[in-house]
Chain A
Amino acid sequence: MAIADVDDMYFHYPRASLGAGDEGWTLCDISLAVHAGTTLGIVGESGSGKSTLIRVMCGLLHHQRGTVRFDGRDVGDFRGEDSKELRRKNQIVFQNPRRSLDPRMTIRRSLSEPMRALQGRRPDDDELIVSLEKVGLGREVLPRFPHQLSGGQLQRVGIARSLSVDPTILYADEPVSSLDVSVQAQVLNLLMDLRDELGLTLVMVSHDLGVVSRMCEEIIVMRNGRIVEAGRTDVVLTRPESSYTAALLVAARAASL
């Protein structure tokens, strides 16, 4: 059963100048489905639109053509109180942890923001500590500010923040790209553990085919705003149908271990 699906979706940024054909559109002719409990990887290079795609899927950006549905309902239908439910069930973890937390908010406050905004309640420290423990952090980070934590710790805080409201789908936009290799490994392991424990549906955007191979059963390859290829990861990456995917693979294999 598809938790989220997209049909013939087109999207352009507000002031894009549209030309003939698909010129100016950031996303063209996107159709895909995300199944409950799976991990989907979205790969592509810069300008492929992958980061834009997940934002449209979770409702942060509004598409101009086609349909985007969450749990069977069109995302545009979630109004009023329902829109909070949509937000709650679709959370994003961002790439650069130093930039995705307000430098002037304590960790305690940053962690409680989603609950305050979407559930109208203020969690007490005990509840926050439980969230922190899930991501391998301790209570001592609560009163601190972002600049006092390392990149790896901040990314864990970001993950804890997203998970604090029990989302159905967790979108991760290059969650480990700005981290060192060893820290990257820790965060990836964490995501795998959380996914298994919580039965989370995970949609991960990455430019790193190695990371996607490890984490995602399904994969979508994007280029210039279009989906070039999609399917099971082991199939697409061993027998790619598109020459672009093949080229990506060659380049990725060349510079990897």
Chain B
Amino acid sequence: MPDTPIPTITADTIDDDTAIPAPPASVWRRIARVPITLYLGGALVSSFVFVALLSFVWTPYPPNHLNMSNRLEPPGTPGFLLGTDRAGRDVITELMLGARNSLYVSVVSTVVAMIIGTSIGLAIAGSNRYFQGPLTRLVDTGLALPGILTALVLAAKLGPGNTTATLAIIAWQIPVAARVTIGPARQVLALDFVEAAYGYGRRRSYILVRHVLRNISPLLIVLGSVMFAAAILIEAALAFLGVGVQPPTSSWGRFLSETQSLLEAAPFLMFFPGLAIVFTVLGFNLLGDGLRTVLDPQQARTGSS
């Protein structure tokens, strides 16, 4: 409902009466209109998911198969396509195993943080004007809390591991999702069709979900991609600090942090977990971008983003 006096005359462009034809119905046309980002992103993400799942049934070498005589072999060594690490573990195997954890932690924490954070953001945006200010400041306080600290505290209580890392990332990211949601949600709430909805009897909760959420979804998709990227990197940082997964469990983050001390001895090693992270993040970004375009009723017409 309007909070400020309604302007009488708006300077909106006087609207014309030109009708736009309906989009083509043929299936092939619609497939052609799907943006390439969706295909690329989808391909990347599915390959990583596939690899992660595959690792449960097969890896080139058994997990944690130490091979002390073949330590730090460069890529191309027979039997070790991408080389071995400090303990002689095959890089490919390590990457596949790592995929499991990194994807699991990042995806779960991002999804949970987004669900909770967005709900909080929507609730605040729709709340009474008097409370909005203080509540938003509360969220800002959450943003200001150093995430690493939370992670360390959690690790102290629960011990290091996947769960700790996931919880830490969730705690870290909830205020981000909430804060980003509040502004756009408020903007949508100020729009005429929201007022119209109140006019025909809709309640605030319905409006928040059915109207506001849908209209900020492009933003949320982008937010999700960004948060996912952050999650992967945070997971790596936590692993480095010893708060995340511990050996012998594998993770890209842990792998990456190990390669730091080996820069002189085996400079090639850091590329592999690094590239894995880069391509996964890229994949989710492209997927998010493609999804955003496809889901927008206005974009679907032209097929361009």
Q: Decide if A and B touch, CB cutoff 8 A.
A: yes
A contacts, CB < 8 Å to B: 13-15, 26, 44-52, 55, 58, 60-61, 83-84, 87-88, 91-92, 94-104, 113-114, 117-118, 140, 143-145, 147-154, 158, 161, 165, 174, 177-180, 182-183, 207
> Is B30 on the interface with A (CB-CB < 8 A)?
no
B252-305 contacts to A, CB under 8 A, are 297-298, 301
Residues of A within 8 A of B201 (CB): 83-84, 87-88, 114, 117-118
Q: Contacting chain A: which of B16-24, B31-39, B44-52?
A: B16-24
- Which interface residue of B191, B195, B199, B215 has the most chain A CB atoms within 10 A? B199
- Least CB distance from A252 to B in Å reads 14
CA of A103 to CA of B191 in the docked complex: distance in angstroms? 11
- Least CB distance from B290 to A in Å reads 18
Residue in contact with A46 in the complex, picked from B8, B14, B195, B198, CB distance below 8 Å: B8
CA of A88 to CA of B214 in the docked complex: distance in angstroms? 26
| CB-CB under 8 A for A87 and B199, given A96-B12, A183-B17 | yes
| Other A-B pairs beyond A15-B3, A60-B195, 9, CB < 8 Å | A13-B4, A46-B7, A60-B199, A84-B201, A91-B199, A113-B200, A149-B19, A158-B196, A180-B14
| CB-CB under 8 A for A153 and B17, given A96-B192, A117-B200 | yes
B298–A150 contact, CB under 8 A?
A: no
Number of B residues contacting the other chain (C-beta, 8 Å)? 40
| CB-CB under 8 A for A47 and B192, given A117-B200, A178-B14 | no
A52–B5 contact, CB under 8 A?
A: yes
A152–B297 contact, CB under 8 A?
A: no
Residues of B within 8 A of A149 (CB): 19-20
| CB-CB under 8 A for A104 and B14, given A48-B8, A99-B191 | no
B15–A94 contact, CB under 8 A?
A: no
Residues of A within 8 A of B200 (CB): 87-88, 91, 113-114, 117-118, 161, 165
- Determine the residue in chain B with the shortest Cβ distance to A59: B199
B1–A150 contact, CB under 8 A?
A: no
- Least CB distance from A96 to B in Å reads 6
> Is B211 on the interface with A (CB-CB < 8 A)?
yes
Residue in contact with A180 in the complex, picked from B7, B16, B199, CB distance below 8 Å: B16
- Least CB distance from B161 to A in Å reads 41
A99–B1 contact, CB under 8 A?
A: no
- Least CB distance from A111 to B in Å reads 11
Residues of A within 8 A of B9 (CB): 46, 174, 177, 207
| CB-CB under 8 A for A100 and B196, given A144-B22, A149-B19, A180-B17 | yes
Residues of A within 8 A of B16 (CB): 150-151, 180, 183
- Determine the residue in chain A with the shortest Cβ distance to B188: A102
- Least CB distance from B216 to A in Å reads 10
Residues of B within 8 A of A45 (CB): 8
> Is B129 on the interface with A (CB-CB < 8 A)?
yes
- Determine the residue in chain B with the shortest Cβ distance to A173: B6
> Is B193 on the interface with A (CB-CB < 8 A)?
yes
CA of A147 to CA of B206 in the docked complex: distance in angstroms? 23
- Least CB distance from B1 to A in Å reads 6
- Determine the residue in chain A with the shortest Cβ distance to B212: A102
9 tightest A-B CB contacts, nearest first = A151-B15, A114-B200, A99-B192, A46-B8, A100-B192, A87-B201, A117-B201, A51-B6, A145-B297
A104–B214 contact, CB under 8 A?
A: yes
Residue in contact with B5 in the complex, picked from A13, A147, A161, A178, CB distance below 8 Å: A13
A102–B193 contact, CB under 8 A?
A: yes
> Is B69 on the interface with A (CB-CB < 8 A)?
no
| CB-CB under 8 A for A150 and B17, given A51-B6, A100-B193 | yes
A117–B17 contact, CB under 8 A?
A: no
A97–B15 contact, CB under 8 A?
A: yes
> Is B10 on the interface with A (CB-CB < 8 A)?
yes
CA of A103 to CA of B211 in the docked complex: distance in angstroms? 9
CA of A58 to CA of B6 in the docked complex: distance in angstroms? 16
- Least CB distance from B299 to A in Å reads 10
> Is B180 on the interface with A (CB-CB < 8 A)?
no
> Is B233 on the interface with A (CB-CB < 8 A)?
no
A-B contact pairs, 15 of them (CB 8 A): A45-B8, A47-B8, A88-B200, A100-B193, A104-B214, A104-B215, A118-B201, A140-B22, A148-B19, A148-B20, A148-B22, A150-B16, A151-B16, A152-B17, A179-B15
